Structure 1
């Protein structure tokens, strides 16, 4: 009986081996297809899409920088309503006098500054922009009743900003003495005297 059924057993074994072989070939083919798919070289369409995405990013970046400069070019209290499109809600702001966290706190600070100064404006001299960072060189002109006998004061400075779709870090660098101390009657005379002695 064993000899009678042995061809059937052999046939079943052959079928299983054949089936296993087909599955193995399928797996190899799928693996080959997968590798071929992921290693496909970039074609002209891929390059065009990448170029288009870079162009869009550059346009958005340029638009943000222009909006930022326009926001400060001729600042006034009414223009503060546009602060939401420039800064993130958790923006960090620093200058030689203040360290401010949050868009609302920055808005209040700018409002108090605009209240005290007259005819404030920024003249932009240069800018360097990278993917998420920009430095902008400027001259600020303003008048204040307590400084320089109310005459205009010019202060040169540099702004550093970090951004994604909006600015999340803003730091201003400028000479606080040139902005304030030299134009206060007593302090101004003292600072000018010290500068002359140091230069002698």
Structure 2
């Protein structure tokens, strides 16, 4: 998503100007991987609008392969706004119905997934749309079947889905991953456990590795 960060502290409606940036957990992951010297490619959907074009330029500039980025005709790429106040940062999202939420299993390049050393998936992708959730699980199943490592970050956001919905999808995803990356809050939400060793062991029963 494209980010608009208010230049001064205060309520969003009082902001007169914004600094433009770029967000999204998977985008940040891939840019970091590319900067670290890895060959990274993105599987997502964006609009063919100005915001989609600016994100494409960002990824290409950072060395992220965009071969499998679907540019949806007439689609509106998601954006969000950030305000800062005494209680911290406030986020306002405009991404409902965005192309990314319509990612589907048909968009998953199975050969590319099979040839990759690692597939990274996050719970945000699963939470923003039913078809996007199906796409993420399909990609993980393909990777698992082909011997591609799978890393998974639940990145639970209560504004996107209920705990019950999230728990069912995240637990299934943990069964399909090799590297699980829940934080302690997510671990407690999933298992009801608080000790680190017990929480990690219960969070990722199918994972060969896990980090908390």
| TM-score of the pair, normalised by structure 1 | 0.23
CA radius of gyration, larger in? 1
Q: Which has more helix, going by share of residues?
A: 1
| TM-score of the pair, normalised by structure 2 | 0.22
